Amino acid sequence: MLREIGAAVFKLKEMKDKARALAIASVRENEKDLDPTPRIDHFLEYFTITPANLDPAGIVPKFEHLIDVSDQRLEDEVKIIAPNADKVKSNNIEGVLSHTTGLNAIYRFINHFYLLGKKTMSLYVIMQIQMQLPLIMQFAEALANSVKAFAEGQPIGDGAGALVAAKMMYGTPSRKISREIVAAETQVGNRRLLVLKAEGPGTSVGKPGDGIKKLIEEEEGRVAMVIMIDAAGKYEGEKSGEVSEGVGAAIGGIGVDQFIIEEISLKYKIPVHAVAIKESNQEALSPMTKEILDGTETAVARVKRIIREGTKEGDTVIVAGVGNTVGIGQ
Amino acid sequence: MSSGQKPASYLVYVFMVVVLGILVFALYITFEGFLALITGLDQSATYQLMMGLLGVMMSMYMFMQFRKRLTLIRPPPPLSMTSVVECKKCGLKSLRKFARGDFVFKTVENCEKCSTPMLVTGIYTEEARKTAL
C-alpha cells in the first residue's frame, strides 16, 4: 500500500512541477524581462479559509464575499506578474495559476499522508488515503489536463453550457451585466430571449447568479422562464454528450450562485429549467471532445423546444449558459 | 512546457538486463530439467523444472509490473486539436489543425468560394486524454 501511495506521490509531483513550469512559461510569453518564478512559487501555497459554519444562518453572503476577495487577489497577482498581458491572456494565466495551486495542494496532502504513514507505520493512516487514492488521482489528472488547455486557450468540456449560449447569442450585440458576464437579446419563435454567458474567450466562469438576478430585476420579475444549460457529471456507462432535462438551477461550484438564482426565482415565482450535457469529471476539465461539441447542437434544439412548449409568444425568457468559457467567444 | 518525453534513466536498462538475465537462466534450468527427465534422473529433473518454471514466471511478472509502472509514469503524446471553420454565407465547412489564438466565433481567413470572412464554429479533439502533463 505504501509503495502504491509512493508512486502516486511521484506522479503528483511530476504533474505539479510541469504545471508550475507551464505557468511560468505562460507568463514569460508576454513578460520577457520579468522573472515570475518566485511570485508564482509563493502563490502556489495560497489558501482560502472557509467561513465558520457553527451557526450556518447567513453563511452564503460570507462565502460570496470570500470568493470575491479570492478572485480579486488572483486578478491582482496576475496584474503584477504579467502587466502587459491583455484581458484574454490574463484570464488564461489566472486559470493556469488557480488550477496549478489546486494540484500543488493535492500533492502536499497526499505527500503528508505518505510520510506520516511511513513514520508511524500505522495501517489506519495508510489505508484511509489508499482507499481514496483512485478518485483523488482522477481529479488531479483532470486538473492537469485543464492547466494545459487554459495555457493554450482551448475550450474544455465544462464550456459546453457557455458554447450553447454563445451559439444562441451569436450575431447580436452583447453587453456586460455583472462580473465577467455578458448578455445579448435575441428572438426564438416570437419570444424575447435574454441569453447570458461568461465573457470569453479567456478563462472565466463569471458570476451567472448575479447576472440572472440583474436581468430579472431589470425586467421587474416579468420573466416567463429561466433555462440554465450546464455540463453535468455522467455516470459510468453513460455516453458523453447526451443531453438530459430537468428543473432547478443547473450550476456547480460552492453553491453561492445556485442560492442567488433560487432566491430570486422564488421571489418572482419564475420556473427554472435545466438542460444538462453529460460528461465525466475528467472530460469537464479536458479539451472538448467531438461528442460534447455535437451535444451542444442537441442542447440548442432542446432549449428552443422547451421555450416553444413552455411559454407564449411575446414572453421573455432568460437562457443562461453556465461553465468555463475558455476558447469560446460570443 | 515541453511535451517531449524525458530520456529513460540508465537504471531502466540495468533492470531490463537483470530481468532478461533471470529469464535466460530460468529457461536454461528448465531445459536442463527436460534433459534430466529424458535421461531418467527423476528427482533432479523435478527440482530443475520447478526452479526453471518458477524463474520464468517470476521474470515475466517482474517485466509486466515494470511495464505497468512505466505506462503510469510516461506522459501521453500531445492531443491533436481540430478547429471547424465555417462560412456563414455559403455554408462551406472545413477542418484544420487548431492554431494558437483560435477560439469559437473568431473571424478567420476569407472563404475560398465567396471571399467572405469565415468563422471558427468549433474546436475539439477526437480522443479523450487521460493526463496532459
According to the model, what pLDDT value does residue B8 have? 57
Q: What is the DSSP string of A241-261?
A: T-EEEEES----TTSHHHHHH
Residue A7 has pLDDT above 80, yes or no: yes
Q: Which of A94-103, A219-228, B118-127 has the lowest mean pLDDT?
A: B118-127
Per CB-CB distance under 8 Å, the chain A contacts of B128 are: 240, 282-283, 286, 289
Assign B40 a pLDDT band (cuts: 50, 70, 90).
confident
CA distance A294 to chain B (A): 9
Tell me, what's the ipTM? 0.88
Within 8 A of A141 by CB-CB distance, chain B residues are: 130-131
Instruction: Answer whether A330 sits within 8 Å of B105, measured CB to CB.
Output: yes
CA distance B116 to B132: 37
CB A204 within 8 A of CB A322: no
Query: What 3-state class would DSSP assign to A326?
Result: coil
Main-chain phi, psi angles of A323, to 5 degrees = 135, 175
CB contact under 8 A, B133 and A290: no
| pLDDT for A3 beyond 90 | no
**Between chains, do A329 and B72 touch, taking CB under 8 Å as contact?**
no
With CB atoms and an 8 Å threshold, state whether A18 touches B125: no
Distance of CA A217 to the CA centre of its chain: 25
Which residues of A fall within a CB distance of 8 Å from B104? Answer: 155, 163, 166, 200-201, 327-329
* Amino acid A67: pLDDT: 93
Assess B125–A contact: CB distance below 8 Å, yes or no: yes
Query: pTM for this structure?
Result: 0.84
To the nearest whole angstrom, how far is the Cα of B7 from the nearest Cα of chain A? 15
Long-range contacts of B21-24, Cβ-Cβ distance < 8 Å, separation of 24 or more: B22/B55, B22/B58, B22/B59, B22/B62, B23/B55, B23/B56, B23/B59, B23/B60, B23/B63
The pLDDT mean for chain A works out to 93
Q: Taking residues B50-59, what's their average pLDDT?
A: 92
The CATH number of domain A157-321, selected from 1.10.357.10, 3.40.50.1470, 3.40.720.10, 3.90.1150.10: 3.40.50.1470
* H runs (alpha helix) in B39-118: 42-73
Q: Confidence class of residue B75 from pLDDT cuts 50, 70 and 90?
A: low
Q: How far apart are the CA of B26 and the nearest CA of chain A, in angstroms?
A: 28
* pLDDT value, residue B72: 61
What pLDDT does B3 receive?
42
The tens digit of pLDDT for each residue in A176-224 reads 998 899 999 999 999 999 999 999 899 999 999 999 999 999 999 999 9
Give domain limits for chain A: 2-152, 157-321
| pLDDT digit string, tens, across residues A111-159 | 999 999 999 988 888 999 999 998 999 889 889 989 999 999 999 999 9
- Name which residue leads in pLDDT, B43 or A41: A41
Query: What's residue B45's pLDDT?
Result: 87
Within 8 A by CB and 6+ apart from B107, the residues are B117, B118, B119
Q: Which helix (H) or strand (E) holds A12?
A: helix A2-28
Residues A216-267: tens digit of each pLDDT = 999 999 999 999 999 998 999 999 999 999 999 999 889 999 999 999 999 9
Is B105 close to A19, i.e. CB distance below 8 A? no
Q: Do residue A288 and residue B133 have CB atoms under 8 angstroms apart? A: no
Which of residues 205 through 244 in chain A touch B, CB cutoff 8 A?
A: 240
Contact list in A for residue B105 (CB cut-off 8 A) is 166, 170, 328-330
pLDDT digits (tens, 9 = 90+) for A86-98: 999 999 999 999 9
| B72 interaction partners in chain A (CB closer than 8 Å) | 7, 11
A26 pLDDT more than 80:
yes
